[in-house]
Amino acid sequence: MALTFIGGKEMPDICDLTLKDLQPSQFYISERKLRGVNEWFRPEDLSNFEPIPVKMLDGIPVMTDGHTRAVAAVLAGLDKVPFVWDEDELSWEMYRRCVLECKARGIHNPADLLSQIISESEYREKWDAWCDEMQAEVNRSSTAGDKKNNIISTEDMNWSALSHEQKNHQLFLKQKALLDQFLEKGAISQAQHDKSLHDLIEKMGETC
């Protein structure tokens, strides 16, 4: 896969990505929104298809929006649509939680969302409510969680001065802390926690 540089960071060439490469950051799709997309979507002509925004999060290309469009494309049998690197400043902590929850629910690419299409009322009840609770939890626990898990806050850290290994270790600690919180609150089972932790350790090159 070819590489490119954006903002001084090494990225895969976005033209090489397919839908199967993208990690969703939400785990429900609104049936109403999907019907709306299908009213204008033409698989044979993607000229009016708004590119799906993608961010690299801990080495993984993550969809930051456009999940309904991605599902419509999968249903149409497409494996590629227009993508664009998302250059907006995002709440990485919240996106990490969303991605971890997706993985815990077996959502690893847009095709996994086909079984997650629900009515608009269910969508608002389940997805919107989950997001509200997650955002509130992030605001409550960010400082306490960092201290408990020996995570250095960005305010106290000269991130650019850290080595590649130190940066990776901090990212590992943050994701492990989220997994531990999900297990503690019963959002995932012990088996899901252990599998996700094992995958995280292998991906991040940790030895513990």
Q: What is the pLDDT of residues 184-202, one digit of tens each?
A: 666 566 777 787 788 778 7
CA angle, 186 then 189 then 193, to 5°: 105
Q: In angstroms, rounded to a whole number, what is the distance separating the alpha carbons of residues 96 and 23?
A: 11
Compute CA 197 distance to the chain's CA centroid, rounded to the nearest angstrom. 16
Q: What domains are defined for the chain?
A: 3-119 (3.90.1530)
CA angle, 153 then 136 then 170, to 5°: 25
User: What dihedral do alpha carbons 111, 114, 116, 122 form, nearest 10°?
Assistant: 140
Q: In angstroms, rounded to a whole number, what is the distance separating the alpha carbons of residues 105 and 93?
A: 19
Q: Answer whether 31's CB lies under 8 Å from 120's CB.
A: yes
Pick the closest to residue 89 from 146, 7, 167 (CA basis). Answer: 7
Q: What is the pLDDT of residues 112-171, one digit of tens each?
A: 999 999 999 999 999 988 888 887 777 776 555 555 555 545 444 555 667 777 777 777
Q: Which residue has the higher pLDDT, 188 or 36?
A: 36
Helix, strand, or coil here: 141?
helix
Q: What is the pLDDT of residues 37-46, one digit of tens each?
A: 999 999 999 9
Spatial CB neighbours of 5, under 8 Å, sequence gap ≥ 6: 11
What pLDDT does 68 receive?
Answer: 97
